[in-house]
Amino acid sequence: MGQFIQLTAADGFSVPAYVAKPEGKPRGGVVVVQEIFGVNSHIRAVTDRFAEQGYLAVAPATFERVKPGVDMGYSEEDMKAGFELKTAVSALPGAGVLQDLQAAINHAAKASGGKVGIIGFCWGGLLTWRAACLLDGLSAAIPYYGGGITAEEEIERQPKCPVMAHFGDQDHWIPMEGIEAFTKAHPEVEVHVYPANHGFNCDQRGSYNEAAAKLARERSLAFFTTKLA
């Protein structure tokens, strides 16, 4: 359904982004933020599904500043490589990859002619939270099991748009005490916890939980329907 285009960030960096367009006039824009495995087939499928729901959907390649063309699976080797790339992106000076997310938000707004939401998974969930707190032009944000989102420095951030957050209670990367601390600090955030593990939304991973993924998707679509109207 979609195709890759080039976006230009504020510092002039050219970042590829997978864009899926709906039939007819878009009802708004959605930025989809990858896990640590690149804009792979799963992320492209998620982006396509938002287009099927009527949104102009954009998935920027958030590893591009450290390694172009990343598209990995979910093996142990891929996991190790993804963590190394994430660490490299985190070490970028200045605004770093947030500039690329802002470019995607700007494109989604212009191309859709409507409000823009952002949704991200795993590392992308953390970036989604940071985008909600630090970037401009967002009307809604939905982080899924954002790794690091419950760290003290992240909890201290304040979102500038409505946020819905999804977590799994069996996630060894994000213990329940961290989720509880995040929930207590942010009563304005709509937090949902599922009997599921990290990565429960991805049907290409062993941790996929169909029931949790379905319910979270229904809630997310309803949230975007309300906030991006």
- Given 42, 107, 166, 198, the catalytic residue: 198
The reply to whether 171 belongs to the active site is yes
- Given 122, 161, 166, 202, the catalytic residue: 122
- Given 42, 100, 166, 171, the catalytic residue: 171
Phi and psi angles of residue 213, each rounded to the nearest 5 degrees, phi first: -60, -40
Number of neighbours of residue 80 by Cβ within 10 angstroms: 11
Nearest to 13 by CA among 128, 94, 124: 94
DSSP 117-149: EEEEETHHHHHHHHHHHH-SS-SEEEEES-TTT
What radius of gyration, in Å, describes the C-alpha atoms of the chain?
Answer: 16
The reply to whether 198 belongs to the active site is yes
The catalytic residues are 122, 171, 198
